[in-house]
Copies of this chain bind each other. A is one copy, B any other.
Amino acid sequence: MFSSTTALQRFVHRLTSRSVLTQEEQSAILDLPGTAEQVGPNRDFVPLGSRIDHSCLVVAGLVGRFGQNSEGGRQITALHIRGDMADLHSVVQQVPTSALQALTVSTLLRVPHQALRRLSARYPAVAEAFWRDCMVDTAILAQWVVNVGRRSARQRIAHLICEMATRYHGAQVGNDITFDLPITQHQLADASGLTPVHVNRTLQKLPESNIVSWSRGHVVHVAGWAELKRIADFEAEYLQAQVEPAGRLRMVEIK
């Protein structure tokens, strides 16, 4: 149904939108081995505590990184969509400090660390691209802190929608956008630091000017992107969805 090659192509595409990689390096990534796996919703596929030996590329579906407090309160700290290597960082940090869970039925490609490390050692520019990609995730995370720390419920949700819209559509976001975000209100609550009940009520007040509609098929339709951005207080720069070629950086000379 979903080819792992397609997923790797998406991954390469993401990397090259921010980093400079030679043709050889790109195809080396495309040749990465891995075993595909399908997991059901609400299933931890990267549990806490035990050392792991692979990273997970999201082929299809939606994946969340989860934190918890002792009372069982859950907090999603990151969302990953197709083409994301959800725990690329585990290449340098083998013991997960937070768990990865599928939010919907998802397909994953488990890529051995060994292969990723070999690639990084052989092509320093790939290591650099990996590092850089991890730092974009970090920038997103920093925005999440601002989101839950200093924004109202409606802003939090609006911001999350803006982020996901941009991540799905890259730079080409028009004023009218549609994309698939298969997430329940409960999960949305866990992502925004709110209660499911309050998410529900906030969501109802959002389409006041027909800005967003959230059909239960999980497809989000944004009718007024500019307006939504304003509400959300959203600036897309940190996502670096499309860094201009001139802005790209490469530490290692191209041979």
Listed in ascending order, the chain A residues whose CB lies under 8 Å from chain B are 65, 67-70, 73-75, 77-78, 89, 91-95, 97-98, 117, 120-121, 124, 127-128, 130-132, 134-139, 141-146, 148-151, 155, 192-193, 233, 237-238, 240, 247, 249, 251-252
Contact = CB atoms under 8 A, between A and B. Distances in A.
Given A121-B124, A127-B124, A142-B65, A75 B251 contact: no
19 contacts: A68-B150, A69-B233, A73-B151, A75-B146, A78-B142, A89-B138, A91-B251, A92-B128, A95-B237, A97-B142, A97-B238, A98-B139, A98-B238, A130-B131, A137-B138, A138-B141, A145-B145, A148-B193, A150-B193
A69 B138 contact: no
Given A92-B135, A97-B237, A146 B68 contact: yes
Count the copies: 2
B148 A149 contact: yes
Contacts of A137: 138
Q: Do most interface residues of chain A lie in helix, strand or loop, or is the interface mixed?
A: helix
Nearest to A78: B142
A150 B75 contact: yes
Contacts of A124: 120-121, 124, 127
B92 A131 contact: yes
A129 to B, nearest CB: 9
